[in-house]
Amino acid sequence: MIEIAGHIQIDEAEIQLSAKRASGPGGQHVNKVSTAIELRFDASASPAISAEMLVRLRSVAGSRMTQAGVIVLTADGSRSQIDNKRAVTKRLVELLRAATKKPKFRVGTKPTKGAKERRLTTKKTMGERKKMRGKLKLMD
């Protein structure tokens, strides 16, 4: 079991890890060994994730989540398969933790009458100041 938050735990059987060849430089090592790891997690089918959390997870994950609700993450930063597995599972946990936090409710406020007046007076003075920057007109 992977602990996400105090009340949310995900079974490791829900996560599918597959090894594939990494891209980029590395010579013969890259050509021979499958060190890159692709992680797939079906968030829509997971019993640990509520419908409310799934909505937040869609916005947090962005393009890393498919239309079907499957999160796809890859890691190929290390030359070791084990390190890449750790890195990709850590990223999944961080993604899920970010989705557990509910956004704060914001109450919209209006500017006060005094603030509006101050804004208008500063706009007026700045406009007058800029008018003075133009070319001087010679009077004949």
What is the per-residue pLDDT across 53-84, written as a single tens digit (0 to 9) for each? 778 878 877 777 777 778 888 887 777 778 88
Evaluate whether residue 17 is within a structural domain: yes
Evaluate whether residue 25 is within a structural domain: yes
Instruction: Give the Cβ contact number of residue 121 at 10 Å.
Output: 10
Evaluate whether residue 21 is within a structural domain: yes
Evaluate whether residue 51 is within a structural domain: yes
The reported pLDDT for the residue numbered 126 is 94
Evaluate whether residue 140 is within a structural domain: no
DSSP annotation of 134 reads S
How far is the CA of 116 from the CAs of 90, 112, 113, 119, 137, in angstroms? Answer: 49, 6, 5, 5, 35
CATH code of the domain containing 59: 3.30.160.20
Evaluate whether residue 50 is within a structural domain: yes
The reported pLDDT for the residue numbered 125 is 94
Evaluate whether residue 125 is within a structural domain: no
pLDDT of 121 over the 90 cut: yes
Report the domain count for the chain: 1
> Which residues constitute the domain of residue 62?
2-100
- pTM, entire model: 0.59
pLDDT of 25 over the 70 cut: no
Evaluate whether residue 95 is within a structural domain: yes
